[in-house]
């Protein structure tokens, strides 16, 4: 089970995002502000429209944590430079969030790991 940070300023939308994370079998972690130090998460869903959320996204990307953006605003270059897994513009179908989360949480092969060879 993965831990997914939810950084969304609106309680109703945050509750919906948490429900989607739980439905996929993961643990939602609501960001309540403050420091990210000691916060261990495997991915994050962030509404990047606020300075705090943008700070969270930058800190997580610096730790190579996958970030998904979900916003009412279209993407801009500053946000896309953070290389989000996806940028969903609200309203969006919930299956789009589910697919993006599954993609973000699927382990990637290590670049130095040998490729599997079938006989």
Q: What share of the chain is helix, strand, coil (3-state, %, to 5)?
A: 35, 20, 45
pLDDT tens sequence across 37-90: 888 999 999 999 888 999 999 999 999 999 999 999 999 999 999 999 999 999
Whole-structure pTM value: 0.87
How many distinct helices (H) and strands (E) make up the chain?
4, 5
Longest dimension (CA), the chain: 53
Q: Which structural domains are found in the chain, ordered by start?
A: 3-105 (3.40.50.2300)
Instruction: Please give the Cα distance from 104 to 26 (Å, whole number).
Output: 12
């Amino acid at each position: 089970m993965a831990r997914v940070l939810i950084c969304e300023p609106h309680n109703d939308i945050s509750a919906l995002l948490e429900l989607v994370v739980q439905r996929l079998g993961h643990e939602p972690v609501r960001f309540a502000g403050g420091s990210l130090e000691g916060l261990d998460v495997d991915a994050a869903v962030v509404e990047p429209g606020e300075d705090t959320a943008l700070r969270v996204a930058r800190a997580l990307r610096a730790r190579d944590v996958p970030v998904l953006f979900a916003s009412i605003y279209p993407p801009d270059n500053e946000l896309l430079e953070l290389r989000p897994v996806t940028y969903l513009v609200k309203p969006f179908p919930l299956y789009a969030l589910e697919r993006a989360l599954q993609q973000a949480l699927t382990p990637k092969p290590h670049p130095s790991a040998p490729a599997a060879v079938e006989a």
